[in-house]
Structure 1
């Protein structure tokens, strides 16, 4: 079952249920699928980006990455089962992949982030099979040779799970354009997770994560990059939810 937050349909699964579903699908080697992990910024982008909307409609799973979505769902009296944080999901899937002999590939992140994340994850899980990493150059999406190189690397590596850290909506655009050709069972866009696991970007203290203030910590750490997303975006998201609640906007 999916609930509606500002026109975006989000799965009512717990973190553990999402992990179980992804692992089972990766093992099954069925037709390729992908998972999206919305936060408040995604909701805002989806209001006007029809391509992004279609990508969301075709996703295998739409799981709530942002705490703001949990608050919104509760306010709208359609509560979710909990947050499915992208970085936690990445780390947990890698831990289980090591146990289940599943192969993973890391695409994206800042230079060196995927390689460093790989090192750290393999120290924790020596059996983890990271069959490739690749950090594409800026503007790669308009360079046919680079796009062909990326696809070639992934097809040759034959991972069960492809983690893509290119930021939204670029990572979702890329996944949607390539997942069928790549034939990877599951692809997941996970934003800045490689950097967080690699300790290139500091993660909020656990207390701030649990209290829903991770956004404030990230804003303090990277104000120049994130001020617009949070200072402008958060009030806009709240306004959209209020409009849905009082019936001013009919989100289908």
Structure 2
């Protein structure tokens, strides 16, 4: 679907829709009511820089139905260039407003991304432990002729095999009266408590994945919203076709109205491209770190830093080893060049 109602402002070859966040939500709701899907791209200065030098990154942007500016440098450049964008529309904000908007229509979302949950496995499953298992008392042989001890009441022991999360019951998530269904979501577990899993096997339950915790929070904040599923793929899943297909199959089977894919650019765009073939009536948002923000694994900058374009400094302080090279050596010089060229572009137009 091509959205022609909004003029595009061109920054270094990328067309960005002159649209507000409220209008984005309205466009998606209207399109869904007509059975039309689409894709929203949220480029920041780093994505804009990549698109200027990488044809594949450019292709991902050109394929989007809506392109919104997720970064104050883009807003500043548009103002200097004489064609101001109305406001920043960040993926980390859209994940909340779109969920609230879809909740009004009792529609569903699927969340992909976030921190994978540690797996709970049995001692003999052949893999290193990723969660604490309770100690098993050593059995002492009974003396010859002694009667066998009475069996303890309870269910029969489960076979010695991998132990996974229990099926997720449909549950009330509070104000939104939303539900997580077991077929497409991991168990929404927070904290550490002892629970029975797989018959009589008792394990120490571990934190749920980031996607599940994000889904629970979105549902609680968005009355009427339905959670079609939530999955945090393991790191490197895209390098194994079986794992890749399994993730995509789970999303396709759930048939959600909207999918938030927070895997980082351009990985999330490749996943969206693959999913759109089977879900033409679904909307997709490549939302970067938004799933981690909602889950609470990463904290957003204070409002004043977001408004003044200093959110990058907050993130750099939180993850200096991962972001220093990209922010300081690549993105900052590119942003300065973009701003310096903007007045010349305005004079030409």
Stretches (4+) displaced over 6 A: none
Q: Which residue of 2 aligns with 1:83?
A: 88
What do the CA deviations read for 1:72-118 (whole angstroms, capped 9, x no partner)?
A: 11111110011111111110111121121111000112221111111
Task: Please give the residue correspondences for 1:1-252 in structure 2 after superposition, counting only pairs within 5 Å.
Answer: 1-30=7-36, 32-111=37-116, 112-232=209-329, 233-243=331-341, 245-246=343-344
More helix by percentage? 1
What do the CA deviations read for 1:214-242 (whole angstroms, capped 9, x no partner)?
A: 11111111111111222121222221442
The answer (yes or no) to whether the contact 2:81–2:344 under 8 Å persists in 1 is no
Please tell me whether Structure 1 or Structure 2 has the larger radius of gyration of its CA atoms. 2
Query: Post-superposition shift, 1:166?
Result: 0.4
- Aligned residue-pair number: 247
Provide structure 2 residue ranges, at least 5 long, that are not aligned to the other structure. 1-6, 117-208
The answer (yes or no) to whether the contact 1:154–1:182 under 8 Å persists in 2 is no
What do the CA deviations read for 1:125-163 (whole angstroms, capped 9, x no partner)?
A: 353211101111222222111122122211211100011
Counterpart secondary structure, 2:9: strand
Provide structure 1 residue ranges, at least 5 long, that are not aligned to the other structure. none
The answer (yes or no) to whether the contact 1:159–1:184 under 8 Å persists in 2 is no
Query: How far apart in 2 are the matches of 1:145 and 1:222?
Result: 32
Query: Post-superposition shift, 1:16?
Result: 1.0
Query: How far apart in 1 are the matches of 2:43 and 2:61?
Result: 9
Counterpart secondary structure, 1:47: helix
Counterpart secondary structure, 1:188: strand
Query: How far apart in 2 are the matches of 1:55 and 1:199?
Result: 28
Query: How far apart in 2 are the matches of 1:183 and 1:85?
Result: 24
Query: How far apart in 1 are the matches of 2:88 and 2:271?
Result: 25
Query: How far apart in 2 are the matches of 1:184 and 1:136?
Result: 24
Aligned residues: CA RMSD: 1.7
Query: How far apart in 2 are the matches of 1:184 and 1:132?
Result: 17
TM-score (norm 1): 0.92
Q: Structure 1 residues 42 and 230, CA, compared in 2 at 3 Å: closer, same or farther?
A: same
Query: Post-superposition shift, 1:245?
Result: 4.1
Q: Which residue of 1 aligns with 2:188?
A: none
Query: Post-superposition shift, 1:190?
Result: 0.2
